[in-house]
Amino acid sequence: MSSSSPSAPRTEARDELRRRFVEAARRAQIVTIVNRAQTEEELGELVSTELCDTFVAEIAFVLACRGGGRLGVVGAYGLRPTEVAQLPAHDLLDVSIASPQRLEGTDLLGVGARALVCASFAAGPARGIVGVARLHESGFDEAETALLEAVTVSVAHALERLRLADERDRLYREAEERAQAARVIGSIADGVLLIDGAGIVQLWNPAAEAITGLAQDVLLGRPVEEAIPGWSAIADALVVARGPDAARARATTVPLEMDGRELWLSIRGVGIAEGTVYAFQDLTEERRLEELKTDFIATVSHELRTPLAAVHGAAKTLQREDVVVGADVVGQLLTLIAEQSARLSAMVDDILLASRVDSPELKIATEQVDVAEVALDVIAAGRAHAHERLTIELVASPSPPVAADRDKLRQVLTNLVANAIKYSPAGGRIEVELEARDRHLAVVVRDEGLGIAAGDQRLIFEKFYRADANMTHGVSGTGLGLYISRELVRRMGGSISVDSQLGEGSIFVVTLPLTNTRIAAT
């Protein structure tokens, strides 16, 4: 029998009831499908397919637009891509804007459709059309039109739901991106500053706080000129890259006065829509080291030139044939050459030692050392070079031996005593005192000389640093002695410190572990 004519007798009422039941089921099916869709594309495909099935139609489509945009195809079934692209969206909207429309005999779609029913919707900012078409001559009835209208409402709600879901996802994604960016900015070592178009500080990361000491909560929301001292002085010098050049932004190194200290910052600026981002690094330490190196080169050059000049002068004198020098003068000149050569050699040794004193390659012995004995040797050598207004004494009660490298300890004490002599130009007393403290022995070298300024005391143990770089007091040196001393003492398990008052002298204290402690620990 034909699929369209059930043979069992049915009353019209039963048929109508059955049809309404089937309609309700179809509508529920479509609502189920509509609610299942996770994207507009999926919604369009599922609804179009299901509409073709429900209406026994060959073509179905969903068109929609957002805001004032053009109607676009959300989904279509039964149309070739070229036919989809040519759907007369606005004509369809015009005919169905007021109420669902049924068209027969007019091929509005331009694809040979014999019957068309379409309904429009507007939900939130979205509007659109849902349509179904048949290629055969079976028009749509009122019940089908009503069903399509109901489906259209569901589609409109689904599109609005998907739009909101998209918006939600976008906001979550942006929030996550912002959080991630904040985590990145918060974790990088460079300081980051964002100044908006009005010159207000909008971002100041933890690295910026650490570099400058300026707290984020004090800066944010304030004009940059007011919030960052010295900003106005450097702002004009900074280069701000924009657009494609942003990746190659050039850094400018500028000094920034901050609470009485001078920070040297390397700053790159990039212009963005929200204002200007500055990323900066603290180069203060690097700059100081650079200055120290420069000073060191100058100092060493000077220190080398003085004995070299003496040696050179003596040698030239001895070479002269037009001058007759006596044997005593020859002896003096040769002594001078020997002494200055030794001085040069010692200087070179210091430079070489400074270059490897913190390296494992420099071997440090651990042996039982009688410090008093070493100190006496050093004092004796010091006395030989000291002028007559200086006295150098060992103040020591019997002291236990320390675990150390005898030669390295001698070098340390020699440096300290030599410094005490050099910085006591007016004479006075130099004491080397040994004092047992708990499990250590303290070797205290005390002088009554020039003293060291408080600001220099924390720096004098660093490589190349000289408290009197300009030699205003006529004291020469490479600036390596105390650095070498500190490293040698550290390698022997001890420590070194200084306490000094300008004009009143200095006290250097070297502590070394007593024999039992050191050897047990080893």
Partner 1 sequence: MFPKATPDSSERLTGAATAVGRDACGEAVERAIASLGREAGLVLIFPTGDMDPRTVAAEATEAAAGARVAGMTGTGAIGVEGLIETGCAAIAFASSVPTAVGAVESGDPRGDARDAVGAVLAETETAPYRVVLLFVDSESGDQAEIVAGAYGVAGGRIPLAGGAAGGGARARFADRRALSGGVVAVALGSTAPIGVGIAHGCIPRGAPSIVTQSHGPNLVQLDGRPAQDVYFERLGVDGEEIDAEAFEVLAMLHPLAEPELGGAVRPRYIRARGLDGALVCATSIARNAAVEICDQTPETIIESAGAAVEDAVRQLEAPCAAAVVFDCAARSAWFRGALAGRELEALVAAFGSPSPSLAGVCTRGEIGRARGAKGDRNHSVVVVALSAPD
Binding site for partner 1 (CB under 8 A): 1-8, 15, 18-19, 21-23, 25-26, 28-29, 31-33, 49, 52-60, 77-80, 112, 134-136, 138, 143-144, 147
Closest CB to partner 1 among residues 33, 292: 33
Least distance from C-beta 140 to partner 1, angstroms? 10
Give how far the C-alpha of residue 65 lies from the chain's centroid of Cα atoms, to the nearest Å: 45
Give the C-alpha separation, 330 to 345, whole Å: 22
Report how far apart, in Å, the C-alpha atoms of 25 and of each of 21, 31, 227, 424 are.
6, 10, 69, 108
Cβ neighbours of residue 96 closer than 8 Å, sequence gap 6 or more:
118, 119, 120, 129, 131
Q: Which residue has the tokens 């004509």?
A: 91
Give the C-alpha separation, 506 to 520, whole Å: 34
Least distance from C-beta 160 to partner 1, angstroms? 22
Closest CB to partner 1 among residues 55, 461: 55
Strands (E), 274-427: 275-282, 367-369, 390-396, 402-404
Structure token digits, residue 348:
């070179």
Least distance from C-beta 82 to partner 1, angstroms? 11
Least distance from C-beta 190 to partner 1, angstroms? 52
Give the C-alpha separation, 360 to 28, whole Å: 82
Angle at 374 between CA 369 and CA 378, to 5 degrees: 160
Closest CB to partner 1 among residues 78, 449: 78
How many Cβ atoms from other residues are within 10 Å of residue 427's Cβ?
A: 15
Least distance from C-beta 5 to partner 1, angstroms? 8
Task: Describe the strand order of the beta sheet including 440-446 as a list of residue ranges.
Answer: 390-396, 428-437, 440-446, 505-513, 495-501
Residue 223 DSSP class: B
Closest CB to partner 1 among residues 18, 437: 18
Give the C-alpha separation, 219 to 222, whole Å: 6
Least distance from C-beta 150 to partner 1, angstroms? 13
Closest CB to partner 1 among residues 144, 282: 144
Least distance from C-beta 92 to partner 1, angstroms? 18
Closest CB to partner 1 among residues 6, 69: 6
Closest CB to partner 1 among residues 2, 472: 2
Closest CB to partner 1 among residues 146, 241: 146
Least distance from C-beta 39 to partner 1, angstroms? 19
